[in-house]
Amino acid sequence: MLKMITDPDILEAYNEDALGFKGEFNGLFRPDSESEVMDIVRDCASKKRFLTPQGLRSSLTGAAICEKGAVLSLERMNRLIDIDVKRKMAVVEPGIVLSDFKKSVEEAGLMYAPDPTSAGECTLGGNVATNASGSRSLKYGATIDWVQGLRVIDGTGRALAVNNSPVEKMCAGYGAVYRPARLFVGSEGTLGVVTKIHVSLTRQPANLFLAMVFFQDLRSAVDFIIETHEKIELRPASMEFLDRMCLDIIRPNAKGIAIPSDAQAMIYFEQEYDDDSEKDACLDLWFPLIEKHTPLADDTQIADSPKEKKHLYDLRHHVPARTNEESIKVVRAGGCKISTDWAVPHNHLHQLFAYFNEIRGPLGDMMVICFGHLGSGHPHFNFIARNSAETAIAQKIDDLMAEKAVALGGCVSAEHGIGKMKRRQLALQYPAPVINAMKALKREFDPAGIMSPGNIFLTE
C-alpha cells in the first residue's frame, strides 16, 4: 500500500485553503490510481483513521481543510481519459484542473459550461464535491446538471459505479435516487472518494459579447435584473453584480473604461448570439431596457473582441481575488472573512437587501464587499471581520440572512457548500427528519465515519 507521508514540511503545503484557514492532521496520501485509493480507504477504515479528500483547497467553507487524521490529495489523479465529440461526453479523473479541462474541451470544438471564478485554482473533483456553478449557471446550471456518472470509492473501500439513466421518465423507488450520481454531487467528501467523472458537454456558442451597465442605486440594478427575467426574448448566459466597493477595487485597473463617479452598482452580463443580425436584434432588446433603468446608459461598455472581453472578464474576477487577499490578512491577524452563499428567487432580492439594511447596524465600520450572481438571486456579501468579536457579529448577520432567504423560498448555500463554516445553517434549510436521513445515508456508505469529519454535519 502507498506509504503515508508524515514529513511536517510536506504536510504544511496541504494545510491552508483560499481563505487562509488551517487544520491539524498527521498524514498525507497522494495516490495516482483508483486501486491505490481503494487500498488507502480500506486501511483507514480498519484503523479508524479519519480521511479528508482534497483538491486544490479553493473551498470557501473550510471543507478541504483536514482537522484530524490524514489528507488524501487527488492532485496526481489528473488525467483526461476521453472526449467523445460525437456523443458530447468526457471522462476525467478528479484532480484535473478545471481550466485545463475546459481548454481541452474547447480545442475539441465543444464546451463544458460550469465556470466557477476559481477555474484555474480548482479541480473538477472539487466541483463535484461542492456542486460548484459560477456566473453562467444562469443559463447552464450547476455541476450537478452536467455530471452523468461517477466512480466512487466509498468509506468501506468498495468501488461503486453510479450512473444516471438517459431515459426521460422513471418511477422506480424514491425520486431522490432516480439519478444516483446526484447523491454524491455536493457530498463534500463525506460519502467517499470520487475517482472518475463522466460529464456531458455542449456546443460552443458561435459568438458572445459582454456588457457592463452602471446604476446610481441598488434598487435600479435589481429592477433591471427582475425585468430581464420577464423578457422571454432575452436569455443572457450570466448577470453578475458589483457594488460600489467593488467598483472602487477595479477602478485602478480599468484601463480606458470610464466608471462613472456616481455609480453605486454595476451589472455585468454575457449574451450569446449566432450572427451579426442576431447580435443587432439582441442589442435592440437590451438598450431600451438599460435606458429605462439607469440614467448612466451612455456609460455602458460593450466588449466583443477577444481582447476586450478578456479585459472585462479579468476586471470582474479581480474582485473575488482581492477579497480573498483581504481575508488572508485578517485571518493571520485573528479575524475571518464570512461570505454569504444564500440565494432567493430573483423577485425576492429587494426584500433580502432591505432586510440586510435593517440588521446591519452591529457591523459598524466593518468592510463589506458585495458581488455575485444576481441574475440567479445569488449575491455574495463578504464581511471582512478583523477580530474574533467582529467574526461573531458577521456570523450572526450571515445566519439571519440565511434564515430569511429560506423563508422566502431560497437556500442557505447555492454553490460553496456547507463545509465546516456553514454547518449551523443546515437546520435552517431542512427539518430534522431530512437531516437524519442524510446522516443515515452517510452511515450506509461510511459506517466507520472516517470520511471528511466535520463537513456538513455538526454531529455525526
Residues 238-267 have pLDDT tens digits of: 999 999 999 999 999 888 889 999 999 999
| CATH code of the domain covering residue 192 | 3.30.465.10
Q: What angle do CA 438, 441, 446 make, to 5 degrees?
A: 125
Q: With respect to residue 397, please indicate whether it lies within any of the assigned structural domains.
A: yes
Q: Is the domain of 182 the same as that of 225?
A: no
Q: Which of 191, 151, 157, 154 is nearest to 42 (CA)?
A: 157
Q: Is the domain of 173 the same as that of 213?
A: no
179 has pLDDT over 70: yes
Asked if 368 and 381 count as a contact pair (C-beta separation under 8 A), the reply is: yes
Domain boundary among 249, 283, 318: 318
| CATH code of the domain covering residue 47 | 3.30.43.10
Asked if 346 and 377 count as a contact pair (C-beta separation under 8 A), the reply is: yes
Number of domains forming the structure of the chain = 4
117 has pLDDT over 90: no
Strands (E), 57-174: 70-73, 80-84, 89-92, 110-111, 147-154, 159-163
* pLDDT for residue 172: 83
Asked if 340 and 404 count as a contact pair (C-beta separation under 8 A), the reply is: no
Q: With respect to residue 456, please indicate whether it lies within any of the assigned structural domains.
A: no
* pLDDT for residue 460: 55
* pLDDT for residue 325: 85
Q: Is the domain of 262 the same as that of 347?
A: no
Q: Is the domain of 24 the same as that of 84?
A: no
User: Which residues form the domain of 218?
Assistant: 207-318
Distance in angstroms (rounded) separating the CA atoms of residues 407 and 102: 37
Q: Is the domain of 191 the same as that of 211?
A: no
Q: Is the domain of 224 the same as that of 278?
A: yes
Domain boundary among 75, 91, 116: 75
* pLDDT for residue 320: 87
Cell reading at 394: 458577521
Distance in angstroms (rounded) separating the CA atoms of residues 92 and 217: 45
- Bridge partners, 272 (sequence order): 208
How many residues make up the chain in this entry?
Answer: 460
pTM recorded for the entire structure: 0.93
Q: What is the pLDDT of residues 405-449, one digit of tens each?
A: 999 999 999 999 999 999 999 999 999 999 999 999 999 999 999
At residue 166 the predicted structure's pLDDT band, cuts being 50, 70 and 90, is confident
Q: Which of 312, 311, 218, 315 is nearest to 266 (CA)?
A: 218
pLDDT (mean) for 207-231: 96
Mean pLDDT (the chain) is 94
Q: Is the domain of 214 the same as that of 312?
A: yes
At residue 326 the predicted structure's pLDDT band, cuts being 50, 70 and 90, is confident
189 phi/psi in degrees, rounded to 5? 75, 5
Domain boundary among 168, 203, 238: 203
Q: What is the pLDDT of residues 24-82, one digit of tens each?
A: 999 999 999 999 999 999 999 999 999 999 999 999 899 999 999 999 999 999 999 99
Integer CA distances (angstroms), 259 to 190, 218, 243, 282, in order: 45, 16, 12, 24
Cell reading at 129: 464535491
